[in-house]
């Protein structure tokens, strides 16, 4: 867990599955607001100003720094081959970092060009991408904040599937929750930021506009979630975590 603390007093803390505090992995990780755990003692922390940093008990090191102007890193995760993926909402792209050389390259999107196009890495467009969550070992659901949707990105960088408000439940944190799409208090997906999946394939997204939590069920099924583009150039669509 990343503890934002007060007055810049930040730390990365470890808990067991019962919620018992096991200690601090690192203290004072500067400008950190996203963390990813891989294994028991390996932690990767994304620093808001372009740097990706690795933490383990008693040590830390910077793996890579993205120098492209306008970078604003928002989410971090690992593919099964060890490649690090980070979302850059400032440039509307997903970067990847080699697990061997720490070299940085573009995974998907076009630097500085927001959009909503589905397709391969050379065609796909995102709009202020935020956090991500694993669906399978080589695929990730990504919060496409500016397009009010979640998208599936595969290992090649192709964006092939979209989740929106269909078959969703919404929690606002008040009496009467949750609300289904037939309920007058239901609201369409808007500005998704945080993401999490359960073992059933349900996706949970936190959304900034209405301060709500949305559950989208059945994402491992082929319908109605599949949105397979027939041609990449012709397929376009119409924060609290």
The predicted-structure confidence for 121-142, as pLDDT tens digits, reads as follows 989 999 999 887 766 556 677 8
Do 87 and 176 fall within a single domain?
yes
The pLDDT score that the predictor gives to residue 162 is 87
**How does residue 116 score in pLDDT terms, banded at 50, 70 and 90?**
very high
**How does residue 6 score in pLDDT terms, banded at 50, 70 and 90?**
low
- Tell me how many domains the chain contains: 2
The pLDDT score that the predictor gives to residue 115 is 96
The pLDDT score that the predictor gives to residue 1 is 64
**How does residue 223 score in pLDDT terms, banded at 50, 70 and 90?**
very low
Last residue of a domain, one of 46, 65, 84: 65
**How does residue 167 score in pLDDT terms, banded at 50, 70 and 90?**
confident
Do 94 and 11 fall within a single domain?
no
Higher-confidence residue of 44 and 10: namely 10
DSSP string over 173-208 = SSTT--EETTSTT-----SEEEEEE-TT--EEEEET
Domain span at residue 89 reads 67-234
The average confidence (pLDDT) of the chain is 77
The pLDDT score that the predictor gives to residue 52 is 85
- By three-state DSSP, how is residue 226 classified? strand
Do 71 and 151 fall within a single domain?
yes
Residue 216 lies in a domain: yes
Do 52 and 75 fall within a single domain?
no
CA distance 105 to 102: 10
The predicted-structure confidence for 200-211, as pLDDT tens digits, reads as follows 778 889 998 989
The predicted-structure confidence for 32-77, as pLDDT tens digits, reads as follows 555 555 444 344 555 555 888 777 666 677 888 999 999 988 888 8
Task: Tell me how far apart the terminal alpha carbons of the chain are, to the nearest angstrom.
Answer: 13
Residue 61 lies in a domain: yes
Last residue of a domain, one of 65, 83, 103: 65
Question: Residue 106 is encoded by which pair of tokens?
Answer: 């573009």
Residue 38 lies in a domain: yes
The predicted-structure confidence for 87-107, as pLDDT tens digits, reads as follows 999 999 999 999 899 999 999
Question: Residue 239 is encoded by which pair of tokens?
Answer: 């924060």
**How does residue 199 score in pLDDT terms, banded at 50, 70 and 90?**
confident
């Amino acid at each position: 867990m990343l503890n934002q603390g007060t007055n810049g007093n930040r730390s990365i803390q470890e808990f067991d599955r019962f919620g018992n505090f096991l200690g601090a992995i690192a203290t004072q990780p500067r400008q950190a607001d996203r963390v990813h755990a891989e294994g028991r003692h390996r932690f990767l922390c994304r620093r808001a100003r372009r740097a990706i940093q690795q933490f383990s008990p008693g040590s830390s090191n910077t793996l890579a720094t993205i120098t492209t102007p306008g970078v604003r890193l928002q989410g971090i995760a690992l593919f099964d081959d060890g490649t690090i993926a980070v979302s850059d909402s400032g440039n509307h792209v997903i970067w990847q970092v080699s697990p061997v050389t720490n070299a940085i390259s573009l995974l998907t999107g076009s630097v500085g060009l927001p959009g909503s196009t589905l397709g391969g890495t050379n065609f796909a467009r995102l709009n202020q991408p935020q956090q991500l969550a694993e669906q399978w070992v080589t695929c990730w659901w990504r919060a496409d904040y500016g397009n009010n949707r979640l998208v599936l990105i595969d290992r090649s960088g192709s964006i092939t599937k979209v989740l929106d408000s269909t078959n969703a439940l919404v929690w606002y944190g008040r009496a009467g929750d949750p609300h289904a799409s037939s309920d007058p208090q239901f609201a369409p997906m808007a500005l998704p930021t945080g993401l999490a999946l359960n073992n059933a394939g349900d996706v949970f997204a936190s959304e900034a506009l209405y301060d709500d939590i949305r559950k989208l069920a059945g994402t491992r099924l082929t319908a109605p979630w599949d949105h397979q583009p027939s041609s990449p150039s012709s397929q376009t669509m119409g924060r609290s975590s």
